[in-house]
Structure 1
Amino acid sequence: MTYTADSALDFVSIARELGTTQGLSLKAGVSNGTELTPTEVRSRMRREGHNFLRRPALNGATIDREGLANNYAVEPTLYYAHFPSPERARQYALQGAIAVLFVTLTLLTAFAVS
């Protein structure tokens, strides 16, 4: 497979060829940069072997057509939060009442002392 500067890049076929041959044959010494493979891709090719670019995405990470991991966040499914729960709401109300009582007693003590 030869590469010319005007050809459309198909990274999957390039990666497969890289897995079978060590070097790329360039036409008339002209390079379009397809022989440059990122280190991450080479290590994944060695590690995964025949499963390179065939494995599904794991742990919410996605892989682009070059074989690089896309490190952008994957949006989780949206849902309505049921917060606070009734029990938690009672705890917040009790905490608020205790805080109001504490502030009131502190103010009464301050007025009584002065």
Structure 2
Amino acid sequence: MSYAASITSGFSLINQKSENKTSSFSDGSELIPAEVRSQLQREGVSVFSRPAINGATVDREGLTNNYAVEPEMYFSSFPSPVQARQYVYQGCAAIALVAGLILTSAIVS
């Protein structure tokens, strides 16, 4: 869902909305995010006419929303028996190392 096509006139719409209000209460529509203002100063009105690509959309204020894109599903590959045996050996070595460190700290203290 991209609002970029509907906001090609830039900030003139925002300014017109704020000038037409007669009430002293604010609904916040006249507030412009700092990043949008600086981006407009750098790039001009072309900020609002950029197409949405790669799952990103541009909201009414000109901010980019990057929504998560679902990755392709794939089958997981389980470890082979050789790899499983290596993992067992690594686990035994880690347990022996931790036991040795605990024993060393008990002897020293």
The two structures have a TM-score, normalised by structure 2, of 0.48
The two structures have a TM-score, normalised by structure 1, of 0.46
